[in-house]
Amino acid sequence: MSTGWQRAIIVGASSGIGEALARQLAKSGCKVAIVSRREHELKRLSDSILAAGDRAAAPLWYVHDVNDTENASALLQEISHDLGGLDLLIYSAGVMPLNPDDSYDLTADLQAISVNVCGAVAWCNAAAERFAKQRGGTIVGISSVAGDRGRRGFPVYSASKAFVDTYLEGLRNRVGRLGVKVVTVKPGPVDTPLVNGLDKKKLPMLISSDEAAEIILRGCSHDGVLYVPGKWRPVMWIVRHVPSFVFKRLNV
């Protein structure tokens, strides 16, 4: 699959959707830089992509904890220099603490906000500033259908993704007039480590990370909101319009 992108950074690339995106972009001939806090996973992925052959070249890799927001902008510029430019940033890092009805874990909730919200803002802001100056580029933020309503099982995760949705919309409105695309990706359940601990048999329309990556790369040629897969769009329209007094009785 030809994507048209030449140089990409994927933040949160060591597993799940981020890893699948790295593999598919590299296979298309795109120069890829992968960013994660887990050095051994970055090495594993880099070696695996190189071994796959075809047009794929080993990606550049950088160890970085997205909680370190102060250094995100400088690292983006460093990586862009090493790649010889940049036309795509994908922010795929994310954590999802599970909160049973009788459980409140402030530490886990604050970590979700730090990774899902603060990390996304730090990296996407840096990319938006660079792309605005060069009058082109694509920013992709991996959000979730969970951001469309507040869920009893993971209220902070839902809220963090709702923040990402609104933030990316605002960013799109800011830099879209300058030739920059901003895409909000809203997957339904994807079979990644993020859903470990859940009963996967009960997850509706569960797809693999490879399937999700294929849909994302096909759909991100245009900016806007991309549901993954697309059949989630009408489903979530209905969910958003369920009255609150009904929704709060649903076990979702």
Residue-wise pLDDT tens digits, 198-207: 666 667 788 9
Round to whole Å and give the CA distance between 102 and 180: 44
Omega cis (within 30) before 229: yes
pLDDT of residue 198: 67
Round to whole Å and give the CA distance between 145 and 200: 16
Return the CA Rg of the chain.
18
Over residues 142-154, mean pLDDT: 93
CATH topology of domain 7-247: Rossmann fold (3.40.50)
| 180-187 and 190-191 strand pairing | unpaired
Task: Tell me the torsion sign for CA atoms 217, 218, 222, 225.
Answer: negative
**Residues 152-183: b if buried by 16+ CB within 10 A, e if exposed:** ebbebbbbbbbbbbebbeebbeebeeeebbbb
The pLDDT of residue 2 is above 60: no
The pLDDT of residue 1 is above 60: no
Query: Structure pTM?
Result: 0.93
Over residues 156-179, mean pLDDT: 97
pLDDT of residue 193: 75
| 190-191 and 137-142 strand pairing | unpaired
Task: Measure Cα distances from 45 to 40, 65, 189 in Å.
Answer: 9, 17, 23
Round to whole Å and give the CA distance between 177 and 225: 17
Round to whole Å and give the CA distance between 6 and 25: 9
Structural domain boundaries of the chain?
7-247
pLDDT digits (tens, 9 = 90+) for 191-242: 877 766 666 666 778 899 999 999 999 999 889 999 999 999 999 999 999 9
More confident of the two residues 147 and 1: 147
